[in-house]
Structure 1
Amino acid sequence: MSNHVILCVDDEQVVLKSLESQLVHEFGSQFHIELSEGGPEALELLDELSDEGYKTLVIISDWLMPEMKGDDFLIKAYKRFPHVLTLMLTGQADNEAIEKTKSYANLYKLINKPWDASELIESIKTGLRELGNL
């Protein structure tokens, strides 16, 4: 299995499991798929993965989550790992949060819930190609 990671962050288990299924189906063993139920946990996971020699290439995050909203999480993650492709998958983000994430976390794409799996997969592939990671 690759040492490259796609991290999915959402407070809803059903969303995380659906993302995991879609990503594994598309990418197989090309990426290690990690799941986290919130921003603080995901930041710890990113550090652990990095310490273990994994390189997180993609972060897909919800916006409306308890403890830490997705824009704040993506900004903190991007400051630590500026090479990462950031996507927000949400049904409730406000324009201010989206603009903030674009400015401070280089938000690549906003995808609304419910999402289309093919749009998500194509966004990941295109973004990774643009960054030279695919």
Structure 2
Amino acid sequence: MSLRKKYYSVVFVVAMLMSFISVSALANNSSDTSFVFNFPIGTNVTYTDARAKVDNSSAYMKLQRLVGGTSPSYTASVVRENYSNFSKVWYYTFNKNNINQGRYLSNYAYEDDGINVKVRIKAVRGADKNDFYASGVWSPDSI
């Protein structure tokens, strides 16, 4: 085999490997879904709908609106579809300072339950006791 053919063979193999890696990286569930967290007086906890998580990346959340209350805030964490915590939990506080700021939420969903585990974002009201709501987008996997 000539040197030129060997070179093209190596380039072809490398290109094929790169395409497989690229397809695998794009196979996660990172499309954004809208959420609304309503916190009327007396409501302290609310959740997003459940979505399948397919890799070990962080979840993603971007708060876009926070309306009502005097100093509205909530603390977010990633939980199972049945609302239970994973073996390790991280907590992220969102308030008016975080509007339009995408944040990555660490979680052990993939490590604890493997591929295609369904997750939700749990939101717990901060200290503000007045009515308020928060809305934005989230995804169970990040890029």
Please say whether Structure 1 and Structure 2 have the same fold, judged by a TM-score greater than 0.5. Answer: no
Higher relative contact order (CA 8 A, sep 6+): 2
Q: TM-score, normalised to structure 2's length?
A: 0.27
Normalised TM-score (structure 1): 0.28
Q: Which has the larger radius of gyration?
A: 2
> Which protein is richer in strand relative to its size?
2
